[in-house]
Structure 1
Amino acid sequence: MKLLQSMCGAGKLSACLALLFSSPAAAQDYEKLMVGHFSAGSLAQWQSKAFKGQTEYRLTEIDGTEALKAVSQDSASGLFKEQRIDLRKTPFMNWRWRIENRLGNINEQEKSGDDYAARVYVVISGGLAFWRTRAINYVWASTSPKGRIWPNAFAGDHAVMIALRSADDRTGVWHTEKRNILADLKQQFGEDIQYIDAVAIMTDTDNAQGKATAYYGDIYFSKE
């Protein structure tokens, strides 16, 4: 327990999500595998994990469809869904997101600036070997340029940060993403990883004590 507290005390979900898992769900064989069906008004099987304060997550209508709204005020909490996904069957993760404001001049490579207006990430559980827990965070960066990759300031090489969006991208509009998770895991960790165990989202502003509002659209995996 002390070790779990020491890992999670830094306030970052990616370092400890897999420690919460007890029995991963069975892999599903769908060409389109829905993980976050927010447009259907559903948060089924999504769980909350708070580290500092509570980011507010709620389903709301925007632009004529339901989406997940996140509002963070000096807080760090996230939502995660435990779902084992076979990446050889559905390697591509698809989603859309938007932010309403930027976080300003922060250094995201340091603990004092490890905040993101929006992030979506995948987690590979290490099970009892918790030190093997790994994650890739796809983030909307404030100061890091698009395409920059770096280790998480708290979790080190076990959690890789990839800036998909940056200060050059417009706020207040939707942006659509598609990532080959199978290929990204191979590139970042140097091995073939067939399964992921969870998908998570987080809007957090605890370290730099800022405020951010973001929206997340449906998240699903596809064959291509």
Structure 2
Amino acid sequence: MNQVLRCSTVLLLLATGPLAGQQPPSIPAFSVLESLDADNGWEPLEFPNIDRLTRYELVSEDGRQVVEAHTDDSASGMIYRVSLEPGDSLVLRWSWKVANVLETGNARKKSGDDYPARIYVAFEFEPDKAGWFERAKRKTVSALFGEELPGKALNYIWANRLPVGTQVPNPFTEDTVMIAVNSGSARVGEWVTVERDIVEDYRSAFGDDPPRLVGVAIMSDTDNTGGQARAWYGDITLERP
């Protein structure tokens, strides 16, 4: 697919959400959901020109209810929309498990921009900090899709080969930074709990304080590599320290 369009569409679908208070919103927990649909807070995240979609379903895995993702030369996700000022610190916590990594996956290359599991965190667009070309591009995309695009994004990945702790720009857009929080096959088949201060990570990635948080998404995709992967996502929370 057109990867620039894909990255823009990912951010587009994270763009809007209800206004939250000072405390982080309670993200609907997979462990207690009766179904995966918009009525329960999670919505499908699909992309233009992608016919093969990743399958997401609630399953019982290791004694608890989680979301299982199965991707086969496919791409799509599930999103939860928020509207929240991050403040000085905001901790994102989740657990996940993968059945495999992608041997041909490579976070530094467009052809390898696939991961068995990842978490998108998207932020509000700041027009006063963008150049003329960026503003014009966003106006064009907004005209096509009928919505305002958000701005930068953090992309927490179970990397295929990138060393843990490494941050690299997405190969299609510098507005998204990939952060390897797990990598390789050393912990394949194990549940891993991840905790990240998204304010600290945003400052490290972009050299500035983050604007308003507008969305969180899960995504497993293999449309660039043509591979297969399976992953499980546990509950996701946002917390003030």
Please give the range of the TM-score, normalised by the shorter of the 2 chains. Answer: 0.7 to 0.9
CA contact (8 A) 1:124 1:197 kept: yes
Report the TM-score, using the length of structure 2 for normalisation.
0.81
Aligned residue in 2 for 1:73: 72
Counterpart code for 1:41? L
Secondary structure of 2:223's counterpart equals: coil
Aligned-pair CA distance for 1:29: 3.5
Aligned residue in 1 for 2:102: 103
Report the TM-score, using the length of structure 1 for normalisation.
0.87
Distance 1:26 1:197, change over 3 A: same
Counterpart code for 1:56? R
CA contact (8 A) 1:182 1:194 kept: no
Aligned partner (choices 162, 167, 191) of residue 208 of structure 2: 191
Aligned residue in 2 for 1:209: 226
Secondary structure of 2:205's counterpart equals: helix
Secondary structure of 2:46's counterpart equals: strand
Aligned-pair CA distance for 1:96: 0.4
Q: Are positions 1:29 and 2:46 aligned together?
A: no
Counterpart code for 2:231? A
Aligned residue in 1 for 2:123: 124
Counterpart code for 1:55? T
Distance 1:168 1:72, change over 3 A: closer
Aligned-pair CA distance for 1:135: 0.5
Secondary structure of 1:218's counterpart equals: strand
Aligned partner (choices 179, 199, 207) of residue 182 of structure 1: 199
Distance 1:127 1:188, change over 3 A: closer
Distance 1:22 1:12, change over 3 A: closer
Distance 1:56 1:127, change over 3 A: farther
Aligned residue in 2 for 1:19: 12
Of 81-90 and 206-215, the range deviating more from structure 2: 81-90
Distance 1:139 1:21, change over 3 A: closer
Aligned-pair CA distance for 1:59: 0.7
The superposition leaves residues 107-152 of structure 1 with CA deviations (integer Å, 9 ceiling, x where unpaired) of 2211111000000120013288547621000000111111111111
The count of corresponding residues between Structure 1 and Structure 2 is 215
- Partner Cα separation in structure 2 for residue 18 and residue 170 of structure 1: 30
- Partner Cα separation in structure 1 for residue 4 and residue 63 of structure 2: 34
Identity among equivalent positions (%) equals 34
Relative to its length, the structure with more strand (as a share) is: 1
Note the 1:75-90 alignment, pairs <5 A: 75-88=74-87
CA contact (8 A) 1:148 1:163 kept: yes
Distance 1:166 1:11, change over 3 A: same
The superposition leaves residues 153-192 of structure 1 with CA deviations (integer Å, 9 ceiling, x where unpaired) of 12x2100000110115311110001100111111211211
Q: State the superposition RMSD in angstroms.
A: 2.3
Secondary structure of 1:217's counterpart equals: strand
Distance 1:222 1:203, change over 3 A: same
In structure 1, list runs of 5 or more residues that go unmatched.
1-7
CA contact (8 A) 1:104 1:142 kept: yes
- Partner Cα separation in structure 1 for residue 73 and residue 235 of structure 2: 26
Aligned residue in 1 for 2:33: 41
Q: Are positions 1:166 and 2:162 aligned together?
A: no
CA contact (8 A) 1:93 1:222 kept: yes
